[in-house]
A and B are shown apart, each in its own frame.
Chain A
């Protein structure tokens, strides 16, 4: 448990400013801190919540907000699938609890830990759940706190806005284990760049990742094991 909570700190550091910012926006949209916190409990998905709050403030119908949330969070299908490989035959109640906390950030940290686990760096489903729940708790508190007066926190304080980007940079480095991963990352970056210029929000993530990984797999199978 303690190990899972400890490993969550880079995520938490990144969640605090984003959560506060969401809370401030939600308050401006007329939501109470309780309502903001409740949304974080039910949804726990940063970008979808930002979109939902802005749609709420422009009076868009609930059905549209729910549909948008669905599309924005579809990328977790891919993340959940990648994690499944490590949890063959695990307790299904625990998997059900774990699934609730799969975000971009917890996915990437858990995956790196699962892959690099060793006797002196053990990692398992219990630790993954502890990591998810710690990040989730910090998220809920940050978003609700933002509703109470997050606007008093100075912007860009201590470079904290860069915490999640830096975390993703390091996690990407962890993933580049063979030449095929580097090739896949470069191809996907190109797809993501192009698609992000034409698709709004984070709609580019799923198509870019699927295209990039598929092209990577085709290349790997064509060239054979020497390139991988």
Chain B
């Protein structure tokens, strides 16, 4: 692949990445969307975060298989507790890292 071909590739990748990020916010922010869409969008963040987390905690390997013995899941238990009790993002991140490090060492 020549340098020009590489530039064309990343420009194409950039465009198809940017448009889905730009179109909704640019057009939906013009006026208030219908109530049912607002209610649906209110549930989307909880859904996305849960969708990002569940496979990271309950599966491992590639291709993935179900696994409830991973250090990621074990670490998640105290990390969830810290998040619920402190509601501190930085505190949870640091605590999660320490738990993961300890669990990786000793379990």
In the complex, which residues of chain B have a beta carbon less than 8 angstroms from the beta carbon of A80?
20-25, 28
- On chain B, the residues within 8 Å of A159 by CB distance are 96-102, 104
User: What is the minimal beta-carbon distance from A171 to any residue of chain B, in angstroms?
Assistant: 6
Q: Which of B15-65 contact A (CB under 8 A)?
A: 16-18, 20-26, 28-33, 36, 38-41, 43-59, 63-65
Which residues of the partner chain A approach B12 to less than 8 Å between Cβ atoms?
A: 62, 66, 69
A39 within 8 Å of B (CB atoms): yes
A10 x B47 contact (CB < 8 A): no
Whether the pair B59, A213 counts as a contact (CB closer than 8 A) is no
B47 pairs with A184, CB closer than 8 A: yes
Q: Is A78 an interface residue (CB 8 A)?
A: yes
Q: Which residues of B contact A (CB under 8 A)?
A: 1, 5-14, 16-18, 20-26, 28-33, 36, 38-41, 43-59, 63-66, 72, 75-76, 79-80, 83-84, 87-90, 92-93, 95-102, 104
The A-B contact count (CB < 8 A) is 280
Identify whether the interface residues of B are mostly helix, strand, loop, or mixed.
helix
Contacting pair B80 A90 (CB below 8 A): no
Interface residues of A (CB under 8 A from B): 9-10, 13-14, 35, 38-39, 42-45, 48, 52, 56, 62, 65-67, 69-70, 73-85, 87-90, 92, 95-96, 98-100, 102, 104, 107-109, 111-112, 156, 158-163, 165-176, 180-182, 184-186, 188-193, 196-197, 200, 204-205, 208-210, 212-214, 216-217, 220
**Cβ of B104 and Cβ of A167 under 8 Å apart?**
no
